[in-house]
Amino acid sequence: MRSGQFVKQTEGYEAFIPSPLPPHPPIDLLDPELNRLLSDADRALGRLDGAASIVPNPDLFVTMFIRHEAVLSSQIEGTQSTLGDLLEHEAGVKKESHPYDVNELVNYVAAMNHGLDRLGDLPLSLRLLREIHHVLMSGVRGGEKLPGEFRRDQNYIGAKDEGIGHAIFVPPPVPQMLVALDQFEKFMHQRHDLPVLIHCGLLHAQFETIHPFLDGNGRVGRLLITLMLCEQHILQKPLLYLSYYLKANRTEYYDRLMRIRTQGDWEGWLKFFLRGMIEVSKEATQRARDIVAMREAHRERISDHLGHKTRNGLLLLELLFHRPLVTVSMVEAHLACSYNTANKLVIELEALGLLNEITGAKRNRAYLYNTYYQIFQRPLVDDPAPRPTPSESPALQ
Please return the burial class of 275, using the count of CB atoms within 10 Å of its CB with bins 0-12, 13-18 and 19+.
middle
User: Within 10 A of 54 (CB to CB), how many other CB atoms are there?
Assistant: 10
Please tell me the pTM assigned to this model: 0.90
Residues 267 and 313 in one domain: no
Please state, in angstroms and rounded to a whole number, the distance separating the CA atoms of residues 237 and 24: 34
Asked if the structure places residue 296 within a domain, the reply is no
Here the CATH number for the domain that contains residue 369 is 1.10.10.10
What 3-state class would DSSP assign to 311? helix
User: Residue 54 — pLDDT band, cuts 50, 70, 90?
Assistant: confident
Would you state the pLDDT for residue 397?
Answer: 41
Mean pLDDT within 88-105: 84
Torsion of CA 89, 92, 94, 98, to 10 degrees: 10
Would you state the pLDDT for residue 393?
Answer: 31
Predicted confidence (pLDDT) per residue in 317-342, tens digit: 999 999 999 999 999 999 999 999 99
Residues 311 and 278 in one domain: no
Asked if the structure places residue 290 within a domain, the reply is no
Predicted confidence (pLDDT) per residue in 195-220, tens digit: 999 999 999 999 999 999 999 999 99
Is residue 202 within 8 A of residue 21, CB to CB? The reply is: yes
Is residue 107 within 8 A of residue 137, CB to CB? The reply is: yes
Residue ranges making up the domain that contains 344? 306-375
Closest CA to 209 of 263, 156, 249: 156
Do you know the residue count of the chain?
397
Residues 36 and 87 in one domain: yes
Would you state the pLDDT for residue 155?
Answer: 96
* Main-chain dihedrals φ then ψ at residue 4, nearest 5 degrees: 140, -165
HEC-encoded secondary structure of 165-208: HHCCECCCCHHHHHHHHHHHHHHHHCCCCCCHHHHHHHHHHHHH
Residues 224 and 314 in one domain: no
Predicted confidence (pLDDT) per residue in 154-171, tens digit: 999 998 888 999 999 999
Mean pLDDT within 291-298: 94
Question: Over 50: is that where the pLDDT of 390 sits?
Answer: no
Is residue 200 within 8 A of residue 276, CB to CB? The reply is: no
Residues 278 and 230 in one domain: yes
In sequence order, what DSSP letters do the residues of 38-65 get, joined into one string?
A: HHHHHHHHHHHHHHHHTSS-THHHHHHH
Q: What is the widest separation between alpha-carbon atoms in the chain?
A: 78
Residues 139 and 245 in one domain: yes
Question: Over 60: is that where the pLDDT of 175 sits?
Answer: yes
Q: 45-54, 129-138, 378-387: which has the highest mean pLDDT?
A: 129-138
Question: Over 50: is that where the pLDDT of 13 sits?
Answer: yes
Q: Which residue has the higher pLDDT, 363 or 5?
A: 5
User: Residue 97 — pLDDT band, cuts 50, 70, 90?
Assistant: low
Question: Over 50: is that where the pLDDT of 381 sits?
Answer: no
Would you state the pLDDT for residue 303?
Answer: 97
Residues 6+ apart with CB under 8 A from 334: 315, 316, 319
Please state, in angstroms and rounded to a whole number, the distance separating the CA atoms of residues 251 and 278: 19
Residues 226 and 345 in one domain: no
Would you state the pLDDT for residue 236?
Answer: 87
Here the CATH number for the domain that contains residue 227 is 1.10.3290.10
| 324 secondary structure, DSSP code | S
Residues 342 and 244 in one domain: no
Would you state the pLDDT for residue 58?
Answer: 77
Would you state the pLDDT for residue 10?
Answer: 93
Asked if the structure places residue 392 within a domain, the reply is no
Predicted confidence (pLDDT) per residue in 232-277, tens digit: 999 988 888 899 899 999 999 999 999 999 999 999 999 999 999 9
Residues 176 and 313 in one domain: no
Asked if the structure places residue 301 within a domain, the reply is no
Asked if the structure places residue 164 within a domain, the reply is yes
Q: Which of 224, 249, 284 is the last residue of a domain?
A: 284
E strands, the chain, are: 4-8, 14-18, 325-327, 356-357, 366-368
Closest CA to 270 of 203, 209, 219: 203
213: left (phi over 0), alpha (psi -120 to 50) or beta: beta
Would you state the pLDDT for residue 394?
Answer: 36
* Main-chain dihedrals φ then ψ at residue 174, nearest 5 degrees: -55, -50
Would you state the pLDDT for residue 364?
Answer: 85
Mean pLDDT within 68-97: 90
Asked if the structure places residue 361 within a domain, the reply is yes
Residues 210 and 96 in one domain: yes
Q: Which of 284, 317, 343 is the last residue of a domain?
A: 284
Q: Which residue has the higher pLDDT, 208 or 390?
A: 208
Would you state the pLDDT for residue 120?
Answer: 86
Asked if the structure places residue 382 within a domain, the reply is no
CA angle 104, 60, 135 (to 5 degrees): 25
Residues 6+ apart with CB under 8 A from 83: 67, 68, 71, 373, 376, 377, 396
Question: Over 90: is that where the pLDDT of 94 sits?
Answer: no
Would you state the pLDDT for residue 360?
Answer: 87
Calculate the average pLDDT of the chain: 91
Residues 68 and 191 in one domain: yes
Would you state the pLDDT for residue 392?
Answer: 31
> Which percentage of the chain shows pLDDT scores above 90?
80
Question: Over 70: is that where the pLDDT of 313 sits?
Answer: yes
Please state, in angstroms and rounded to a whole number, the distance separating the CA atoms of residues 73 and 79: 9
Domain count, the chain: 2
Residues 317 and 189 in one domain: no
User: Residue 387 — pLDDT band, cuts 50, 70, 90?
Assistant: very low
User: Residue 380 — pLDDT band, cuts 50, 70, 90?
Assistant: low
Asked if the structure places residue 388 within a domain, the reply is no
Q: Which of 284, 315, 331 is the last residue of a domain?
A: 284
Would you state the pLDDT for residue 391?
Answer: 31
